[in-house]
Amino acid sequence: MAKIVLKRKKSDKDTYLVRNVKSAYGELEYDDSLLEEDQVVEPIEKTNEEIQQQQLRKAKEEERRLAEEKAKEEEIRLAEEKAKEEERRLAEEKAKEEERRLAEERAREEERRLAEERAHMEELQRQQVSAAEVKEIVSDETASILIEKEVDEEKIFGNKKGIINIDTISRNFEAGDIVTINSLKDKKLIDKNVCFVKVLARGIIDKPLIVKAQDFSLDAAKMIQLTGGKVVLLNKKKY
């Protein structure tokens, strides 16, 4: 325990110099002028209540310090998390932009290629063409590129698959007609219970037709395209 040393003081006439000493109970006054030698005064012990209060203050201070440290750590954690989230968001946006750019680039390339193939097909077009000669006139790749795809909204009833030759279609329809499964049924060219038709190459086609079906042989597609018609591949549900 620390000791308090009281030094002697000189008196001034009849006035005594008083030294105040703080203790646990307040200030103690000593008349230094009467002391002839230095005197050591022991501080009075603190009471249990005061000790508890001091410990409580220290505990609260420590609690406050820990709370501040925890708050700072949480602030740092949230800032790092926010930075990571922002980095992830920017990466996703960049990836989406790149995906859009590539998709647009592919679409432009496909459009350019399609235009070239259409122009090439127009150069090859004729009034009529036979199944025997189409292989030598146009490539499978060109014919495949020019096949259009469509989801048909027309209801088709039935549960059977059927086939029909392109020359049969050509004989029973006029130039510019749209050929569908239902129109084939109306002309009694296929059974009423057919819901899926594949068009095959045979004979001669001598007019431009728009033919819609679920499947085509490539040679049949070439015959339709070479006479100025259109091949439409249907993605059709059965009713």
**What pLDDT score was predicted for residue 163?**
94
Please give the helix or strand (H or E) that residue 143 lies within, else none. Answer: helix 140-145
**What pLDDT score was predicted for residue 23?**
52
Average pLDDT over residues 25-39: 51
Tell whether the model's pLDDT for residue 39 goes beyond 70.
no
pTM, rounded to two decimals: 0.56
**What pLDDT score was predicted for residue 117?**
83
**What pLDDT score was predicted for residue 115?**
84
The fold for domain 129-234 equals Ribosomal Protein L15; Chain: K; domain 2 (3.100.10)
* Nearest one of 192, 230, 197 to 213, comparing CA atoms: 197
* Nearest one of 157, 191, 179, 189 to 229, comparing CA atoms: 179
Give residue-wise pLDDT tens across range 54-83.
888 888 899 999 999 999 999 999 999 999
Average pLDDT over residues 24-51: 56
Decide if 129 contacts 227 (C-beta within 8 A). Answer: yes
Report the chain's mean pLDDT, rounded to a whole number: 82
Torsion sign over Cα 105, 108, 112, 114 = positive
